[in-house]
Amino acid sequence: MTGKEIDTYIELYKKGDQDAFSVIYHETYQNVYYTIYLLTKNKTLIDDYVQDTYVKVIKNINAYKIGTNFKAWISRVAHNLTINALLLQSKEIPVELSSKTEHIFGPSIEPDTKIDKALDNLTGLEKEVFIHLIIEGLSVKETAEIMNVNINRIYYLKKQMEETLKVIFQ
């Protein structure tokens, strides 16, 4: 879906069309999910922060300027919300799960996919480029906007990422 089409649904949502938000959610969920995944790799936190992101977007939908890039905007909201939550969480006292309480939350999930292997072998910026270009399917220009870097930097990081992945998956 193009940015203009998403903007049309945003306008409909602002006018009270609740079904329009379902379309917006469907079109942006993957961007939000992987933005948060990049920062946490924790399924429970990802689900919580995705929900928090959409609540924040609903409350602040009028802050989005129609005609700009909504996917970049919502990814930035998810990024900022996650960073703030992680900073707040780092100030809290950690609690270890015992074997008696693990059944409530379930065992930790071990990554076992090619995507996880790729992400484990990429640097921070390469990971972000991988998520935006490969997983979310964004363009180089959109990725540059989300990451707030020069488009040439994205091309460079993309080339580095491809070389790293070529070695890993040969």
pLDDT-derived band at 169 (thresholds 50, 70, 90) equals: confident
State the pTM of this model.
Answer: 0.61
Mean pLDDT of the chain: 81
Indicate whether 38 and 60 sit together in one domain: yes
pLDDT at 15 over 90: yes
Indicate whether 52 and 127 sit together in one domain: no
Indicate whether 89 and 15 sit together in one domain: yes
Indicate whether 95 and 22 sit together in one domain: yes
Please tell me whether residue 2 adopts helix, strand or coil conformation: coil
pLDDT at 62 over 90: yes
pLDDT-derived band at 66 (thresholds 50, 70, 90) equals: very high
| pLDDT value, residue 91 | 60
Indicate whether 11 and 76 sit together in one domain: yes
Please report, for residues 8, 36, 50, 54, 57, the alpha-carbon distance to residue 80 in angstroms, rounded to integers and kept in the order given: 25, 10, 12, 13, 12
Q: What are the pLDDT digits (tens) for 88-141?
A: 776 654 444 444 444 444 444 444 467 777 777 888 788 888 877 877 777 888
Indicate whether 67 and 125 sit together in one domain: no
Q: Which domain-ending residue is among 49, 79, 103?
A: 103
What is the domain-level CATH number for residue 43? Answer: 1.10.1740.10
Q: What does the alpha-carbon distance between residue 155 and residue 17 come to, in Å, rounded to a whole number?
A: 39
Q: Which domain-ending residue is among 71, 103, 135?
A: 103
| pLDDT value, residue 131 | 79
Q: What does the alpha-carbon distance between residue 37 and residue 78 come to, in Å, rounded to a whole number?
A: 10
Q: Provide the residue type at 30 as one letter.
A: Q
Residue ranges making up the domain that contains 131: 110-170
Indicate whether 99 and 115 sit together in one domain: no
Kindly write down the DSSP assignment for every residue of 89-123, as one continuous string.
Answer: HHTSPP-PPPTTTHHHH-PPPPP-SHHHHHHHHS-
Indicate whether 118 and 96 sit together in one domain: no
Indicate whether 93 and 148 sit together in one domain: no
| pLDDT value, residue 58 | 93
Query: What average pLDDT does range 54-59 have in this prediction?
Result: 94
Indicate whether 77 and 131 sit together in one domain: no
Residue where the block lists tokens 């994205």: 154
How big is the chain, counted in residues? 170
Question: Based on the number of CB atoms within 10 Å of its own CB, is 88 exposed (0-12), middle (13-18) or buried (19 or more)?
Answer: exposed
Number of domains in the chain: 2
Q: Which domain-ending residue is among 85, 103, 121?
A: 103
Indicate whether 88 and 5 sit together in one domain: yes
Half-sphere CA count of 143, side-chain side, radius 13 A: 25
Indicate whether 90 and 128 sit together in one domain: no
